[in-house]
Amino acid sequence: MKYTNSIEIALPREQVAQLLADPAHLPKWLRGMVLHEPVNGEHGQLGTTSRVVMQSGQRTMEGTETITRREPADLHEIPRGTVVHFDREIAAPGMWSVVRDRLTEAGPTTTLWEEESEYRFSNLLMRLMGLLMRGAFHKQSQQHMEDFKAFAEQGKDIREATS
């Protein structure tokens, strides 16, 4: 299953890239984030593997995330016109996914964030769930992007809104 989401954020691309790459901010905008800890490497850097635990209602999912692409490596001085890429693979029991994030300048103070998601399921039950819940996956990804936008632009922390 593959789908793409996008959103415009009213901040310069360099600032969006820095906020998105900083794992300290994940709990502020990523609903369901319980744990995101590096197993090897430095948080958010190319090649780093992290243990990830997410919760949705009564369901908990644990997996391993690997950063497979981060360009440019230095997010503090991004040359004008450069597209920022963050790619990561997540493996969990019965599922594998890849998320490819692209940040482009939509204007001097506006960033277009495009996210391509792909999921593969290894057993029949998970495949069936993927087919039946395709819309839910797509909607959840869009919600994460909207939560990030609210965090980046207005400082909104989803933990304050949901507690």
Radius of gyration of the chain (CA): 16
How much is the average pLDDT of 82-86?
95
Per the domain annotation, does 41 fall within a domain?
no
**Angle between helices 134-154 and 124-132 in degrees, nearest 10:** 60
Identify the bridge partners of residue 66 per DSSP, sorted by sequence position: 49, 89
In whole angstroms, what is the distance from residue 98 CA to residue 59 CA? Answer: 21
CATH of the domain at 16: 3.30.530.20
Per the domain annotation, does 98 fall within a domain?
yes
0.85 exceeded by pTM: yes
1-32 confidence digits (pLDDT tens): 899 999 999 999 999 999 998 888 999 999 99
59-74 confidence digits (pLDDT tens): 899 999 999 999 998 8
Give yes or no for a contact between 136 and 130, defined as CB atoms under 8 angstroms apart.
no
Per the domain annotation, does 163 fall within a domain?
no
In whole angstroms, what is the distance from residue 52 CA to residue 10 CA? Answer: 29
Give yes or no for a contact between 85 and 101, defined as CB atoms under 8 angstroms apart.
yes
Per the domain annotation, does 129 fall within a domain?
yes
What residues make up the domain containing 145?
Answer: 2-31+76-158
Per the domain annotation, does 90 fall within a domain?
yes
115-152 confidence digits (pLDDT tens): 999 988 887 666 667 666 777 788 989 999 999 999 99
Please state the domain count of the chain: 1
